[in-house]
Amino acid sequence: MMAGEKQEYKDTLSLVAYLFGYPDTDWWSAMGDCRAEAEKIEPLQNRQVILEFLDYVQGLGQKEYEELYVRVFEFSSNTNLYLTMHDRTDFGKQAQEMQAFKTLFLDNGYDLNKELPDYLPAVLELTASISRVQASKVLTAARPKIELLRDRFVEAKLAHTFLLDVILTESDELKGVTA
């Protein structure tokens, strides 16, 4: 395995985490950098998905995308980016799941001060900062929640569904990693 391949998941997941971030002025200013980073991504399918997502966002424009983002991720309980919120029928179970996400961070030497531990961009940033073996474990633990979120995104017809596909592809690539 080449050195670049080992780093690839980190760059990809970090970029996807950023793209799920709030589209403030700094976020928009970084679009050129995001595109440059996306151009480097392997496999080609992930690169293409991210570039098409960037085209979509830029095509909507700043005001329209920000309105979409707020409506979808901040005002909808079905499509927000908190992974334990989508099957909230049992709050005791949700608390256990939240603690499990917190443990994933603590076990990898990180603690969150600003975000809840089930916030998808935070989980992606964690996986981008740890070893392949640990990243695989984190994504494997989060996968059922990411898949549920993906189902919700499909129902809502969100372009962000394709970013979740990139995460799941990276998760598949990391499976079975032992070193």
User: How far lies 79's CA from each of 16, 73, 85, 87, 150, in Å?
Assistant: 16, 6, 9, 11, 9
Domain range summary for the chain, segments of one domain joined by +: 3-174
User: How far lies 157's CA from each of 38, 42, 86, 161, in Å?
Assistant: 23, 26, 17, 8
**53 residue type, one letter:** F
Give the pLDDT of residue 1: 40
- Using 50, 70 and 90 to split pLDDT, how confident is the model at 169? very high
Can you point out the beta strands (E) in the chain?
none
CATH fold, domain 3-174, is TorD-like (1.10.3480)
142 pLDDT more than 80 = yes
pLDDT by residue (tens digit) across 40-65? 998 999 999 999 999 999 999 999 99
pLDDT by residue (tens digit) across 79-132? 999 998 876 666 677 788 888 888 888 898 888 777 889 999 999 999 999 999
Residues 6+ apart with CB under 8 A from 175: 136, 140
C-alpha span between 139 and 96 (Å, rounded): 18
Give the pLDDT of residue 165: 97
119 has which bridge partners? Answer: 82
- Using 50, 70 and 90 to split pLDDT, how confident is the model at 2? very low
Length of the chain: 179
